[in-house]
Amino acid sequence: QLTMSLNSSTLLNEENAQGAKRNSECLESLLQSPSSFQDNPLQQLQLASQEVLEKAKKSGRSKCPRCNSSRMFYCYTCFVPVETVPTKEIPTVKLPLKIDIIKHPNETDGKSTAVHAKLLAPDDVTIYKYPCIPEYEEKRHEIALIFPGPNSVSVKDIAFHLQKYTKKGVCASDDDCSREPLLKQAKIETEEEKNPNEGISSSRSEGTRLKKIIFIDSTWNQTNKIITDERLQGLLQIELKTRKTCFWRHQKGKPDTYLSTIEAIYYFLVDYHQEILKESYKGQYDNLLFFFSFMYTLIKDAKCCAGKE
């Protein structure tokens, strides 16, 4: 469940290179062939209209309204759509908790799908560039880190394990449960849970103990530098269900179960919604893949027409 990414400028170059090979026969076959839909695992998503992206694709690169850089679809440094993609035409997704994304310093800005989350859920997503990350020590009883490891637990077990963290007074270990300030922190949390203004109902209090989830945005080989940081030690680690990535920049030599950042965020939220909030999933977070699915189809069709598939 690691992160990979996407380069908008390179995407445009790929599109132009492949676009020269497109012709009417290819486009007609794509429209008529049912397999083109069956081969797209993102086809069933409940997405907002992507017409705005179709128009932007045809008009080409445009300026970022903040830094004036030339970009395709959005600016990956300012986290805003370009001038040809009106913000009002981009869907906004409300998330059930906050998300911190820790980006490796060597991860190219233009290659990161993490920016999709910031664009589509701006009020709930924050991106940090390592090593400039928050201190999570006193909030460990309400935070979890998405990372596969020997001590990772499944999404459905989050509430149980966070409860243990709270009962320990947010201890670093079983033998370290006597620090008074942290015990006070646990008591404060208990009072907050009883406060109706926090929006926590008795039936969902177990699930809503989790208030923030952390994702690491890097290649697998770069991850060790971040995951071993002392500020992330002691956090509950979550491993996602096994799913196959649709990412077009798959890491060479790695299994297809290594997800891009936006895929990992999306699948976690779907699991969280069903297994923790105990609610049926009806596409509430599908628009997190608004940009991802469009680019997936664009590149897949281009490769198909070029005879690469």
Find which of 111-120, 183-192, 199-208 is predicted with most confidence, using mean pLDDT. Answer: 111-120
- The residue extents of the domains of the chain are 91-164+208-306
Single-letter residue type at 196: P
pLDDT above 70 (res 196): no
Arithmetic mean of pLDDT, 49-70: 95
Q: Is the pTM of this model over 0.85?
A: no
Model confidence at 198: pLDDT above 80? no
Supply the DSSP string of 196-239, one letter for each residue: GGGT--TTTTTGGG--EEEEEES-GGGHHHHHT-GGGTT-EEE-
Residue 37, pLDDT above cutoff 60: no
241: burial class by Cβ within 10 Å (0-12, 13-18, 19+)? Answer: middle
Closest residue by Cα to residue 269 from 180, 155, 189, 165: 155
The pLDDT value given to residue 110: 84
pLDDT score at 294: 93
DSSP 3-state of 146: strand
**pLDDT value at position 248?**
63
User: Which segments within the chain are labelled E, that is strand?
Assistant: 62-63, 70-71, 74-75, 80-81, 98-103, 125-129, 143-146, 212-217, 236-238
| Cβ proximity of 135 and 182 under 8 Å | no
